[in-house]
Amino acid sequence: MDFTFTEEQRAAAEAARGVFAGVVPDAVPSPALTTGAVAEGFDRELWARLAEADLLSLLLDEAYGGSGLDAIALCLVLRESAQVLARVPLLEHSAAAAAVQAYGGPELAERVLGRAGRGELVLTVAANGRSGHDPAELAVGARRDGSAWVLDGVQTAVPWAFDADLVVVPAHLEGTADERSVLALVPRERDGVVLAEQVSTSGERLAEVRLTSVRIDAGEVMEADGAWEWLHALLATGTCALALGLGERVLRMTADYTAKREQFGYPIATFQAVAVQAADRYIDLRAMEATLWQAAWRIASGAAGALPAAGDVAVAKIWAAEGVRRVVQTAQHLHGGFGADTDYVLHRYHAWAKHLELALGPAAAYEERLGDLLAAHPLG
């Protein structure tokens, strides 16, 4: 493996820093003071700036107006976005578009990708299943009906669903012994699609998506083997990048605060108990970073390993989920009561961290998945 970033990857990160430089994390009401969602939709102005900077088309080929970059570049951009709690569906949109490019037909790609890269078409992914704990592909059934497909089922906690034009929905084949999954691009306003509002711990608007006899043209369904597994791995790895960026920002906030806050005439950062806790969290972040780039590299390169790439993704998600939780908890502790002050931004990072910790499943789910992979692929 080689964790040296290419010139193009570094340029993507630099462009992202420029776009996100003017974003403030407290532009919407605090989730602690809001009974419903903090806003009806995402930040459209920021979305337009991302499109102008070609950051919505990072993973797309030049034929669709993209940069032809990889999962590593996307994770570098996501890392920057999380530092300012950017309220845009960058991960879901980019991953869905990449799946269409990799597994969709030429007509579907031609119809979707150019507009998606320009930000004119917004994509999201239903990846949490019926309850948030069961496999997403089992929550919706798909059956053929002539030249079309019919979908029935429920997906919970779909991010940005009220804003998306298309929702990528994984589904299992009904009425056959085939255990394959398909990916369907479901228009938000298609007959049989009903959205019910849900609210994340971060205060963002999610949706329970109910599908009742929803008809989808065959050209809008991706049937290729491994499409859902690949998309899920990219989403999980992107979530790790978000957790890393958030954690790094929170640790910097903590360092700044403890360097200024004095007790007994000395900055509390000079106290051994404070320094040790901060050092432990720094170690967490470096472990999160190393496992993130390993997973992103496996996805980007397709390189073989002792375990399938899903094993590296599982390790990264375990570290991201547990590490980001420890970082924000330590930050709250070292800030004292100030950390819970709703006029101070730290509590927003805590709320977003809890969402990222549980997104696509908690650490325990990935520990179980890793155990299954080790059992199926004995090492040594």
CATH topology of domain 136-222: Butyryl-CoA Dehydrogenase, subunit A; domain 2 (2.40.110)
Rounded Cα distance, 32 and 244, in Å: 23
Q: Are 24 and 84 spatial neighbours (Cβ–Cβ below 8 Å)?
A: yes
CATH class of domain segment(s) 7-121? mainly alpha
- Strand 266-267, strand 140-145: pairing: unpaired
Q: Are 233 and 309 spatial neighbours (Cβ–Cβ below 8 Å)?
A: yes
**CB atoms inside a 10 Å sphere around CB 40:** 10
Strand boundaries in the chain, DSSP class E = 123-125, 140-145, 148-159, 166-173, 181-187, 193-199, 205-217, 221-222, 262-263, 266-267
Domains 7-121 and 136-222 share a fold: no
Burial 247-261 (b: 16+ CB within 10 A, else e): bbbbbebbbebbeeb
Q: pLDDT at position 2, please? A: 61
**Every domain of the chain and the residues it spans:** 7-121, 136-222, 227-376
CA distances from 255 to 25, 269, 330, 335, 354 (A): 19, 7, 11, 10, 21
Rounded Cα distance, 207 and 34, in Å: 17
Q: CA 297, 321, 91 angle in degrees (round to 5)?
A: 55
Residue in the structure block whose two tokens are 């290729």: 224
Rounded Cα distance, 36 and 197, in Å: 9
- 174 in helix, strand or coil? coil
Q: Which residues contact 228 (CB under 8 A, 6 or more apart)?
A: 136, 137, 170, 181, 182, 183
Burial 299-309 (b: 16+ CB within 10 A, else e): bbeeeeeebbb
Q: pLDDT at position 161, please? A: 97
Q: Are 172 and 149 spatial neighbours (Cβ–Cβ below 8 Å)?
A: no
Q: Are 242 and 82 spatial neighbours (Cβ–Cβ below 8 Å)?
A: yes
The per-residue pLDDT string of the chain (380 residues; one tens digit each, 9 = 90 and over) reads 566 899 999 999 999 999 999 999 999 999 999 999 999 999 999 999 999 999 999 999 999 999 999 999 999 999 999 999 999 999 999 999 999 999 999 999 999 999 999 999 999 999 999 988 789 999 999 999 999 999 999 999 999 999 999 999 999 998 777 778 999 999 999 999 999 999 999 999 999 999 999 999 999 999 999 999 999 999 999 999 999 999 999 999 999 999 898 789 898 888 999 999 999 999 999 999 999 999 999 999 999 999 999 999 999 999 999 999 999 999 999 998 887 888 899 999 999 999 999 999 999 999 999 999 999 998 76
Q: pTM value?
A: 0.96
Q: What is the DSSP letter of 136?
A: G
Burial grade of 329 (CB within 10 A; 0-12, 13-18, 19 or more): middle
Q: pLDDT at position 339, please? A: 79
Q: CATH homologous superfamily for 227-376?
A: Butyryl-CoA Dehydrogenase, subunit A, domain 3 (1.20.140.10)
